Amino acid sequence: MYGGGYIYDPENKNQAPIAEDPEKLAEFEAKIDNGEKIEPSDWMPYEYRRQLIRMIEQHAHSEIIGALPEGTWITRAPGFKRKMALIAKVQDEIGHGQLLYAAAETLGKPREQMLNDLLSGKSKYSNVFNYPAKTWADVAVIGFLIDAGAIINQLANSKGSYAPYGRALKRICAEESFHLKQGYEAFVYLATGTSTQRAMLQDAVNRWWPPIMHFFGPSDKISVHTEKLIRWQVKMDTNDNMRNDFLEQYVPKIWELDITLPDPNLRKNPETGRWEYTEPDWDEFFRVISGNGPCNKERLDVRRWVEESGRWVRQALFKPNEIYKVPLA
């Protein structure tokens, strides 16, 4: 995972627009209109850089925090196949974090600073990981449906204008397909299994459905700001479109197994061809993002433990005289 569509950006409201050099800006926009990619050493508008750092950084945080709910089941995963696939999947998520932090670093923000901002709460990660993975069925639901959502979001973003992010996402998407496949297999085994297994799965689907509907973020308010991000190919699709794509591709796969979804209004409108649903509870979404979800504290406590308990290792091999260089990625 998993950026989702929502980028936490409290600074944006109070930001006075930066006056950019009109000639450079025109050149930059012409490049993007031409379908050319932007490399780290190219000139770019301040707002383009700032927005990309936020976006890639939050995506990276989501990967390393996203490793935790599924990590819950590593020691308990049933049998060799499920266990090895789960460890490899969680490993990939850490790998995605590694690739994305490197991509964000090319824009000038060091990894250490991004991790500090994660731990202090200044920067956020995808809200969906603030929910607990209570049973083995949760692993199947996450692997299948959250990774499916991630693929929709990441495939769109991989076509964006910033080259290092696009390169990282190409590799990430290939690995996400494996995540989806292994998650779907575990999901189907439960759905086609015993009544106990089906009940576990139905319960997990019911619990995860609201966070999944939140996953792509609230409907975009089309402001001058979002229009600019779309023009610059930072934002590649609207949150509602991505949510619709997700429903279109995956709801039939859930329903064909006679697993129900806890929304009586969920249906595809045959006239518009779009999916309709009960508006998700966005108050709950913002309540959880601001730190009051069931697992926010544990997730950050664990990352803090990682940084603190690993400090002596990093300190032991720390060379204070080396000069930090932004990676090329």
Partner 1 sequence: MNTQALKEMLCKMGDDALIMGHRNAEWTGLAPTLEEDISFSSIAQDQIGHALAMYTLMHEHLGEPNPDIIGFSRPETDFTCCHLVELPNSGYDFSLIRHFLFDHAEILRYKALTNSAFTPLAQVAAKITGELKYHILHANTWVRHLGNATEEAKARLQTSLNTLLPYALGIFEPSIFEQALIADGIFIGENALQTQWMQTIAAILKQTALHLPDVTTIQPVYGGRRGYHTEYLQPLLTEMTEVFRIDEQAEW
Partner 2 sequence: MSSLDPRINRLDLVKTAQAENIQPHQHWETYEVFVQAKRGGHHTHAGSLHAADHDMALIFAKEQFARRGQCHNIWVVKTSNIFALNTEDADMFAENNEKKYRNTGGFKVSDKITQYKRSHKHTQPDETD
Contact footprint for partner 2 (CB under 8 A): 39, 41-43, 68, 71-72, 74-76, 95, 98-99, 102, 105, 110-113, 115-116, 119, 132-134, 167-168, 175, 298, 301-302, 304-305, 307-309, 311, 314-315, 317-320, 322-329
- Interaction pattern, residues 97-136, with partner 1; x per rule: CB under 8 A: xx--x----------------------------------x
List Cβ neighbours of 96 (8 Å cut-off, separation of 6 or more).
1, 60, 63, 168, 172, 175
Ramachandran angles phi, psi of 96, nearest 5°:
-65, -40
C-alpha angle with apex 236: 211 to 7, nearest 5 degrees? 45
Binding residue (CB under 5 A) for Fe ion from 47, 57, 70, 93: 93
d(CA 176, CA 82): 16
- Interaction pattern, residues 208-247, with partner 1; x per rule: CB under 8 A: ----------------------------------------
Closest by CA to 70, choosing from 58, 83, 59, is 83
Least spacing, CB of residue 93 vs partner 1, in Å: 8
Least spacing, CB of residue 39 vs partner 2, in Å: 5
- Interaction pattern, residues 31-70, with partner 1; x per rule: CB under 8 A: ---------------------------------x--xx--
State yes or no: residue 95 binds partner 1 (CB under 8 A): yes
Closest by CA to 244, choosing from 268, 265, 226, is 268
d(CA 24, CA 248): 41
d(CA 76, CA 96): 24
Centre a 10 Å sphere on the Cβ of residue 133 and count the other Cβ atoms it contains: 21
| 3-class DSSP assignment, residue 38 | strand
Least spacing, CB of residue 264 vs partner 1, in Å: 30
Residue 57's binding partner among partner 2, Fe ion, partner 1, none (Cβ under 5 to 8 angstroms by kind) is none
Q: Please check whether residue 208 is in contact with residue 141, taking contact to mean a CB–CB distance below 8 angstroms.
A: yes
Judged by the rule CB under 8 A, the positions of this chain that interact with partner 1 are 64, 67-68, 71, 73-80, 82-84, 87-88, 90-91, 93-95, 97-98, 101, 136, 186, 189-190, 193-194, 196-197, 200, 302, 305-306, 309-317
